[in-house]
């Protein structure tokens, strides 16, 4: 049961239907053509699925505080207030409630995106930003506080149900509270009381601006994860001061963007930071929200049942599955498309200036584009390959009413996801495979596992359309000696066909090479050295995850040498040149993980036979082994045939 999660929550005059919040995410749709329409469809899709409260992405209260300029939400002008009315209307029509997040990036703003110098309490540059911010004058501080209040008033006018003041993750408010970023000597800096003045003034004036009945949430930092920053006692005092200012809900953020500790990646265990919220809950009477890596309604229920929080925020889990809570409440938890916290299509996209979507659910953010049209004719569709591309193609084609058979030469579905899932810290991939298995079974897809499809296979003759999603072929580099028995493929390691020795060289430095290196450390403390021709290791892994992968490899003692020229593989090791010197590195196993090739052979043969055939995923284009491309290709073809 979900008694706790299903309880309503009264915030002044407003009743939230349950204890689930869809946490704030800037998705970037607002910057696209028809952006408002797309953003409205994105939220409305989720508003109709048992979400107590949705929070928008950060809306800048001042132009210099924008997360990225014109393409980001803004509430800095009266026109902005009018602009967002269709959004709130759309969410209300879908039966949901939505809060606007009042946002100011402070020194995290980029001058080349906003066109304005970023501002901060002190002129101290953040390690992750190129600009030195200008220290705000006292008059400007006054104006900024006023901007939060005016923004809140505009949110009321625009029809929002609440506002959330963004005071965590290292943005402007956090920058005032922390002694690391606030070195002012006037009334706004120095003592803790002075550093707290800025958020408290904002809370007070926002409350005054919206009146006594409008819910105001405050997202405060529960744990900065920055050396020398706000202490636990200060954090609790901050929470109590916000309560005294009439805040209705405290949403507990974790970490700053510049923290060196992973706070949201797949490697972060589920529910890891719940105790931070629980600690704050003990010091206040107003409800407290726990956030980060809560991706299962049962976990959410357990956190509430244990009295650790009063509400649960899930952000990315709503990208992965808009129906996550509905499925939980209806006893269909096994049908949930679980957020695997990969960040590859959400945060990584935002960092690349693209709109957020979701690796496991490409429909996220594309609600108006990726529809499920009823096909003109019901067909027999054969999918060759049960990796992510094939699975998603099968799911969408079957959803539309086609008769679908999915074949794979392996006995299990999942393709290379079966490798990812056994890498330490990547266990969430089990969920993706489970999701597809349950969905395909439910949709009555026929499985032909352990079946190798050739152009003369009977299943080929039966099919009206064939989708070749048979994946990549590992590339073997041309190094003299590469064909010796102690040279194996990463596939041999993952599939248990070969047990590497104690001294291993991995040839390759991309995502697969990192994965196989970490995997080989899970049951032994092997000596592992990764070699590659280029300089940058873990290339191809997105910005949000690459740094943590490098740190983990180093922590586990994996050595990395780039810019090598391979000379020869010998029975006792490998010879290469590096920095102009010839090096012989002794080892007993060499694992090849140096790229992959597309595999169009079956596709060509079927084409030649005159079959209606499509080529997708890694089989079509193998540049970087990429589940995101695979699932996207699958969804597009599944909706087109």
List active site positions.
171
Q: Is 309 in the site for ligand FMN (CB under 6 A)?
A: no
Q: How far is the CB of 346 from ligand FMN (least distance, A)?
A: 4
Binding-residue total with ligand FMN (CB under 6 A)? 22
Return the residue of 166, 239, 247, 616 that touches ligand FMN, per CB under 6 A: 166
Residues 6 or more apart whose CB falls under 8 angstroms from that of 29 comprise 35, 38, 39, 42, 355, 365
By CB under 6 A, what part of segment 247-266 binds ligand FMN?
264
Residues 6 or more apart whose CB falls under 8 angstroms from that of 350 comprise 26, 27, 28, 356
Q: Is 288 in the site for ligand FMN (CB under 6 A)?
A: no
> CA distances (Å), 283 to each of 252, 273, 275, 277, 278, in order?
13, 17, 13, 10, 9
Cβ atoms of 68 and 341 within 8 Å: the answer is no
Partners of 406 in the β-ladder: 383, 447
CA atoms of 633 and 631, how far apart (whole Å) = 5
> CA distances (Å), 257 to each of 105, 169, 347, in order?
11, 6, 12
Cβ atoms of 400 and 376 within 8 Å: the answer is no
Residue 464, token pair as written in the block: 């009206």
Q: Is 23 in the site for ligand FMN (CB under 6 A)?
A: yes
Q: How far is the CB of 228 from ligand FMN (least distance, A)?
A: 23
Q: Is 24 in the site for ligand FMN (CB under 6 A)?
A: yes
Q: Length of the chain in residues, anyone? A: 641
Q: Is 350 in the site for ligand FMN (CB under 6 A)?
A: yes
Q: Is 26 in the site for ligand FMN (CB under 6 A)?
A: yes
For ligand FMN, which stretch binds (CB under 6 A), given 30-38, 198-206, 298-306, 346-354?
Answer: 346-354
Residues 6 or more apart whose CB falls under 8 angstroms from that of 64 comprise 109, 114, 116, 117, 118, 119
By CB under 6 A, what part of segment 533-572 binds ligand FMN?
none
Q: Is 29 in the site for ligand FMN (CB under 6 A)?
A: no
For ligand FMN, the closer CB: 150 or 357: 357
Is residue 353 classed as helix, strand or coil in its secondary structure? Answer: coil
Return the residue of 76, 203, 347, 518 that touches ligand FMN, per CB under 6 A: 347
Residues 6 or more apart whose CB falls under 8 angstroms from that of 181 comprise 107, 120, 121, 122, 124, 174, 175
For ligand FMN, the closer CB: 211 or 353: 353
For ligand FMN, the closer CB: 252 or 472: 252
Closest-CA residue to 252 (of 319, 196, 308, 326): 308
Q: How far is the CB of 66 from ligand FMN (least distance, A)?
A: 11
Q: How far is the CB of 76 from ligand FMN (least distance, A)?
A: 15
Q: Is 52 in the site for ligand FMN (CB under 6 A)?
A: no
Q: How far is the CB of 315 from ligand FMN (least distance, A)?
A: 3
Return the residue of 41, 120, 356, 463 that touches ligand FMN, per CB under 6 A: 356
Q: How far is the CB of 101 from ligand FMN (least distance, A)?
A: 6
Residues 6 or more apart whose CB falls under 8 angstroms from that of 193 comprise none
Cβ atoms of 433 and 409 within 8 Å: the answer is no
Q: Is 151 in the site for ligand FMN (CB under 6 A)?
A: no
Q: Is 58 in the site for ligand FMN (CB under 6 A)?
A: yes
Q: How far is the CB of 173 from ligand FMN (least distance, A)?
A: 11
DSSP structure string for 237-277: HHHHHHHHTT--EEEEEE--TT-SS-SSSTTSPTTTTHHHH
By CB under 6 A, what part of segment 193-222 binds ligand FMN?
219
Return the residue of 346, 383, 590, 619 that touches ligand FMN, per CB under 6 A: 346
Interface residues toward ligand FMN, by CB under 6 A: 23-26, 57-58, 101, 166, 169, 219, 264, 291-293, 314-317, 346-347, 350, 356
């Amino acid at each position: 049961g979900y008694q706790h999660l299903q309880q309503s929550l009264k915030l002044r005059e407003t009743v939230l239907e349950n204890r689930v919040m869809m946490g704030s995410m800037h998705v970037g749709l607002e910057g696209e053509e028809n952006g408002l329409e797309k953003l409205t469809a994105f939220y409305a899709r989720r508003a109709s699925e048992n979400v107590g409260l949705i929070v928008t992405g950060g809306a800048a209260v001042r132009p210099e505080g924008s997360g990225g300029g014109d393409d980001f939400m803004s509430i800095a002008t009266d026109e902005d207030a009018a602009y967002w009315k269709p959004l709130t209307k759309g969410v209300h029509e879908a039966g949901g409630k939505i809060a606007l997040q009042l946002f100011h990036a402070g020194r995290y703003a980029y001058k080349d995106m906003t066109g304005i110098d970023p501002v901060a309490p002190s002129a101290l540059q953040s390690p992750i930003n190129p600009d030195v911010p200008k220290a705000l004058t006292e008059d400007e501080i006054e104006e900024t506080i006023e901007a939060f209040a005016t923004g809140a008033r505009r949110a009321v006018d625009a029809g929002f149900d609440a506002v959330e003041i963004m005071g965590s993750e290292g943005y402007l408010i956090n920058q005032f509270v922390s002694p690391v970023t606030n070195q002012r000597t006037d009334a706004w800096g120095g003592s803790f009381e002075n550093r707290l003045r800025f958020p408290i003034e904002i809370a007070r004036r926002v409350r005054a601006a919206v009146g006594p009945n409008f819910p105001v949430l405050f997202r405060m930092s529960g744990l900065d994860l920055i050396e020398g920053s706000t202490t636990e006692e200060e954090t609790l005092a901050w929470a109590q001061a916000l309560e005294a200012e009439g805040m209705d809900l405290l949403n507990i953020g974790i970490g700053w963007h510049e923290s060196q500790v992973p706070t949201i990646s797949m490697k972060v265990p589920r529910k890891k930071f719940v105790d931070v919220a629980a600690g704050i809950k003990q010091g206040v009477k107003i409800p407290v929200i726990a956030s980060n890596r809560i991706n299962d309604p049962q976990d959410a229920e357990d956190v509430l049942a244990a009295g650790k929080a009063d509400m649960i925020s899930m952000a990315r889990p709503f990208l992965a599955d808009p129906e996550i809570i509905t499925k939980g409440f209806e006893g269909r938890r096994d049908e949930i498309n679980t957020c695997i916290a990969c960040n590859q299509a959400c945060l990584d996209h935002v960092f690349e200036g693209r709109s957020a979507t979701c690796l496991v659910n490409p429909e996220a953010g594309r609600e108006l584009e990726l529809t499920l049209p009823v096909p003109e004719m019901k067909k027999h569709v054969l999918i060759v390959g049960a990796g992510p591309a094939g699975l998603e193609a099968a799911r969408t084609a079957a959803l539309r009413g086609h008769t679908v058979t999915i074949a794979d030469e392996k006995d299990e579905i999942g393709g290379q996801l079966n490798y990812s899932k056994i890498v330490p810290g990547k266990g969430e991939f089990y969920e993706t495979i489970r999701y597809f298995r349950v969905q395909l079974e439910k949709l009555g897809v026929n499985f032909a596992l352990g079946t190798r499809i050739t152009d003369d296979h009977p299943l080929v003759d039966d099919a009206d359309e064939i989708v070749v999603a048979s994946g990549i072929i590992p590339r073997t580099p041309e190094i003299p000696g590469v064909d010796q028995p102690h040279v194996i493929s990463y596939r041999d390691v993952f599939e248990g066909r070969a047990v590497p020795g104690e001294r291993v060289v991995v040839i390759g430095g991309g995502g697969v090479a990192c994965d196989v290196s970490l995997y080989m450390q899970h049951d032994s403390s092997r000596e592992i050295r990764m070699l590659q021709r280029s300089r940058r290791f873990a290339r191809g892994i997105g910005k949000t995850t690459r740094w943590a992968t490098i740190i983990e490899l180093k922590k586990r003692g994996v050595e990395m040498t780039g810019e090598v020229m391979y000379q020869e593989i010998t029975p006792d090791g490998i010879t290469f040149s590096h920095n102009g010197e010839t090096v012989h590195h002794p080892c007993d196993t060499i694992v090849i993980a140096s790229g992959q090739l597309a595999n169009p052979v079956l596709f060509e043969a079927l084409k030649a036979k005159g079959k209606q055939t499509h080529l997708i995923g890694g089989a079509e284009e193998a540049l970087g082994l990429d589940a995101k491309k695979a699932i996207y290709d699958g969804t597009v073809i599944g909706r087109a045939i």
